[in-house]
């Protein structure tokens, strides 16, 4: 499809709007919208600010008022076609008199999809696919959840150069440096579930909140999920009031993810111990691996992952590296490796 230079500029701006910091994670995707007049000049813009707030298109239409008639709407996601907490954006565009709609990514949500057909049926010109790859990346976990009917799983672990997450006596604080831990909290904040097993809760007593570089909790906290059947002391820190917590009383990773999917959770940050990690790896339910590697050696101790059934080198689970970053400087430097299992992607 053909797109004008002004539409391309507007889509870049819409993507920037959708990335606006501070928007709480939730069941809805991040979306940005820019309205252009007949000469390609911007009339108005908007972005979705979280569940229950006006969608990006509605925000832009509200800012434009009567100037929306005859305009081109440039949106990062296909305008929705259903009534939820807010009305359908496709119909709002029709009623506002928008003449052309350009969107990046078709909506993979079957409940909300169909905006393109509604717009075309009303005589609105529609084009899509402009910067679709960038739009899909923006809502990576949400898109994955819609297409796979389960949350995207990032398994994060910290280990020494020889793959140990704890020493022989069980001590593990701290394998990695302070800059690496700050960076891990940054990644935690991009997810909407923090998942550990009952063993980690019993032994390490983590609070599992997201904190800033000053070790202060952020205003918006992901859901804390504890998976397993073991009885736990209700005074464990994970059950405090600093973030919501649920129990997933199962040993089956797929059952746990099904429950979280039913709760509209899109991105799980798996922070459990080696046995929980092995269970997810064994089930083929790890979509991304983030490893913080410290330039240190223990020689013995707990491995970062438990036995998941590989007994010969031919069956090695191979990972594709997508990013390598040095976190921290000089004596505090660690390496962050981001990888995906080759057979998953």
Domains of the chain, earliest start first? 5-142 (3.40.140.10), 150-341 (3.40.430.10)
Residue 345 has pLDDT above 70, yes or no: no
Could you say which of 57, 78, 116, 288 is catalytic? 57
Sheet holding 42-47, edge to edge: 42-47, 32-36, 72-77, 100-105, 125-128
Higher pLDDT, 204 or 102: 102
Q: Is the dihedral of CA 282, 288, 292, 295 positive or negative?
A: positive
* 231 noted as active-site residue: no
Torsion angle, CA of 51/53/57/62, rounded to 10 degrees? Answer: 180
Give SS3 for 306: coil
- Copy the structure tokens of residue 270: 């798996």
Between CA 237 and CA 255 the distance in angstroms is 25
- From 36-40, 57-61, 249-253, 301-305, the region with the lowest mean pLDDT: 301-305
Percent of the chain with pLDDT over 70: 99
pLDDT confidence band for 286 (50 / 70 / 90): very high
In terms of C-beta density within 10 A (0-12 exposed, 13-18 middle, 19 or more buried), how is residue 41 classed?
A: exposed
Residue 344 has pLDDT above 70, yes or no: no
Closest alpha carbon to 6 in 70, 128, 102: 102
In terms of C-beta density within 10 A (0-12 exposed, 13-18 middle, 19 or more buried), how is residue 229 classed?
A: exposed
Percent of the chain with pLDDT over 90: 79
Between CA 25 and CA 80 the distance in angstroms is 19
- For residues 109-116, give the mean pLDDT: 90
Q: Is the dihedral of CA 166, 182, 326, 318 positive or negative?
A: positive
Closest alpha carbon to 213 in 48, 116, 327, 321: 327
Average of per-residue pLDDT values in the chain: 93
- Copy the structure tokens of residue 68: 């929306």
CA 15 vs CA 46, 76, 161, 320: distances in Å: 11, 6, 38, 27
Between CA 255 and CA 76 the distance in angstroms is 33
Other C-beta atoms closer than 10 Å to the C-beta of 255 total: 13
- Report the pLDDT value the prediction gives residue 343, as an integer from 0 to 100: 62
Helix residue spans in 113-219 (DSSP H): 115-121, 132-138, 140-148, 178-188, 198-204
Most distant CA pair in the chain, distance: 71
Residue 288 has pLDDT above 60, yes or no: yes
Between CA 115 and CA 18 the distance in angstroms is 19
């Amino acid at each position: 499809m053909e797109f004008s230079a002004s539409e391309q500029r507007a889509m870049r701006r819409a993507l920037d709007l959708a990335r606006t910091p501070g928007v709480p994670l939730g069941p809805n995707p991040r979306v940005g919208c820019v309205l252009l007049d007949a000469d390609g000049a911007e009339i108005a813009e908007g972005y979705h600010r979280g569940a229950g707030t006006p969608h990006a298109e509605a925000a832009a239409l509200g800012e434009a008022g009567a100037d929306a008639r005859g305009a081109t709407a440039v949106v990062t996601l296909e305008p929705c076609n259903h009534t939820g907490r807010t009305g359908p954006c496709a119909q709002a565009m029709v009623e506002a008199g928008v003449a052309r709609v350009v969107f990046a990514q078709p909506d993979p949500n079957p409940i909300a999809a169909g905006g393109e057909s509604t717009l075309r049926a009303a005589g609105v010109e529609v084009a899509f696919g402009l910067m679709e790859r960038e739009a899909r990346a923006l809502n990576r976990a949400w898109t994955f959840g819609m297409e796979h009917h389960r949350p995207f799983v990032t398994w994060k672990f910290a280990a020494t150069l020889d793959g140990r997450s704890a020493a022989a006596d069980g001590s593990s604080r701290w394998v990695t440096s302070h800059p690496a831990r700050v960076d891990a909290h940054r990644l935690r904040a991009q997810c909407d579930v923090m998942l550990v097993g009952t063993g980690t809760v019993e032994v390490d007593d983590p609070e599992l909140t997201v904190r800033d570089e000053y070790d202060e909790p952020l205003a918006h906290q992901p859901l804390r999920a504890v998976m397993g059947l073991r009885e736990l002391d209700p005074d464990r820190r994970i059950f405090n009031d600093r973030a919501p917590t649920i129990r997933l009383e199962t040993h089956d990773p797929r059952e746990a993810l099904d429950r979280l999917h039913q709760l509209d959770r899109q991105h799980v940050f798996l922070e459990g111990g080696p046995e929980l990690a092995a269970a997810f790896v064994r089930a083929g339910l790890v979509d991304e691996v983030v490893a913080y590697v410290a330039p240190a050696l223990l020689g013995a101790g707990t491995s970062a992952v438990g036995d998941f059934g590989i007994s010969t080198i031919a069956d090695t689970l191979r990972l594709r590296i997508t990013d390598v970053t040095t976190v921290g400087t000089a004596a505090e430097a660690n390496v962050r490796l981001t990888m995906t299992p080759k057979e998953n992607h």
